[in-house]
Amino acid sequence: MAVDLLLLVLSTALAFSQEQQFASLGDFQLQSGEVLRDCRVGYRTAGHMNSDRSNVIVIPTWAGGRTEQWLPNVGPAKMADTSKYYVILIDALSNGVSSSPSNSTVQSRMHFPKITMRDMVDTQYALLTKVLHIDHAKAFLGISMGGMQTFQWMVAHPDFMDKAIPIVGSPRPAPYDLAHWQAEIDAIKDNKDWDGGEYTKNPARDAEYEFGAILLKTPQEFNKTHTREQVLKELADTKTSTQGSDANNKIRQVEAMMSLNVAEPFGDSLEKAAAEVKARVLVIVGKEDHAVTPAPAIEFAHSLKAQLLVIDDGCGHQYCDYAGVAKAVTDFLEN
């Protein structure tokens, strides 16, 4: 009995350790034909894989996000319920954990090649199939750029999953999205500290704060949660701040988001791209999302005849109805 109890404790500790791991993929050819040298992909796992491997859920990260930031949503009775599912969290390229301009020893800074959303998915496919020996998942889900990767996954590898849940993502950026994402790149490159990416001080911290304030929340929600004095202080603090995304990493991820168009191989038709999808899909969008405007995702959802949830909580991209979204996800996974 004591031995059995010890084994149970050790097994449980291993299942929920969730420590950072890395897969080395070697030199990886990108969609452009360029090669990403010494490609590494970060990931974490939690829960137990069942005997027929039918309970795998894969979750890629949002823009600038890291898998550790997903951990509050991973565990028994949480959105990614480890009492039911084997959860694989994957760090997207250029997030500072997986291969990125900030950590590459052979292609550092702007020598790091441009990447696409498909490149992110291709490295994740290699991780799952060649390293973890998984060729099918119960579901993929992701938030924001994680949702974009989920859209790319469901079209690029339609047989790989039973369900897909893109949350405040897009199958291709709308014109408004392209304009503000390019503005974010321009703000970095026009900054006096940029130096062609060879900066010693991370440039455009003030612009990153300003874009976040304008785009991630609606004006009503931002005004509700911030005072004038607080904003003026934060604006002043950003002038000397060293916080925020590494600028080179941010540029390569924003370029990847701008490159996304799941319809491109299908004559730019979202309807034809949707015909390739075999998964059951729940598309979740924010009605007042200014960071990833919802129209392309809604159009794709209609083409898929997918379940569609429009979050109408007045908060925008960083939605406030966390409980409602979590319930929609868990219900969809179960039914």
pLDDT one-digit tens code per residue, 143-189:
999 999 999 999 999 999 999 999 999 999 999 999 999 999 999 99
**Does residue 126 share a domain with residue 47?**
yes
**Does residue 273 share a domain with residue 226?**
no
Tell me the whole-structure pTM to 2 decimals.
Answer: 0.92
Q: How far apart are CA 252 and CA 110, in angstroms?
A: 9
Residue 217 burial (10 A CB sphere; 0-12, 13-18, 19+) = buried
Going by DSSP bridges, is the β-strand pair 21-29/35-46 parallel, antiparallel, or unpaired? antiparallel
User: Residue 17 half-sphere exposure, CB side, CA atoms within 13 Å?
Assistant: 10
pLDDT at 158: 97
pLDDT above 70: residue 14: no
Report, as an integer, the average pLDDT of 81-96: 96
Last residue of one domain, picked from the residues 252, 273, 298: 252
Q: Would you say residue 4 lies in a domain?
A: no
Q: Would you say residue 152 lies in a domain?
A: yes
- C-alpha closest to that of 88 among 44, 122, 55, 118: 44
Secondary structure letter of residue 91 according to DSSP: P
Q: How far apart are CA 58 and CA 48, in angstroms?
A: 13
pLDDT above 70: residue 8: no
* pLDDT, tens only, 240-253: 777 778 999 999 99
Which alpha helices (DSSP H) does the chain contain, by range? 2-15, 117-126, 145-156, 175-189, 205-215, 219-225, 228-238, 247-259, 270-276, 295-304, 322-334
- Whether 307 and 281 have beta carbons less than 8 Å apart is answered as yes
Question: Torsion-angle region of residue 287: left (phi > 0), alpha (psi -120 to 50) or beta?
Answer: alpha
**Does residue 143 share a domain with residue 292?**
yes
Domains in the chain: how many in total?
Answer: 2
Residues contacting residue 191 through CB under 8 Å, at least 6 positions apart = 203, 204, 207
Last residue of one domain, picked from the residues 232, 252, 272: 252
Confidence label for 17 from pLDDT (cuts 50, 70 and 90): low
- C-alpha closest to that of 70 among 20, 132, 128: 20
**Does residue 235 share a domain with residue 147?**
no
With residues binned 3-state (H G I as helix, E B as strand, rest as coil), the percentages for the chain, rounded to 5, are 45, 20, 40
Going by DSSP bridges, is the β-strand pair 161-167/137-143 parallel, antiparallel, or unpaired? parallel
**Does residue 209 share a domain with residue 160?**
no
Q: Whole domain around residue 149: which residue ranges?
A: 14-174+259-334
Q: Would you say residue 8 lies in a domain?
A: no
Last residue of one domain, picked from the residues 236, 252, 268: 252
Q: How far apart are CA 124 and CA 92, in angstroms?
A: 8
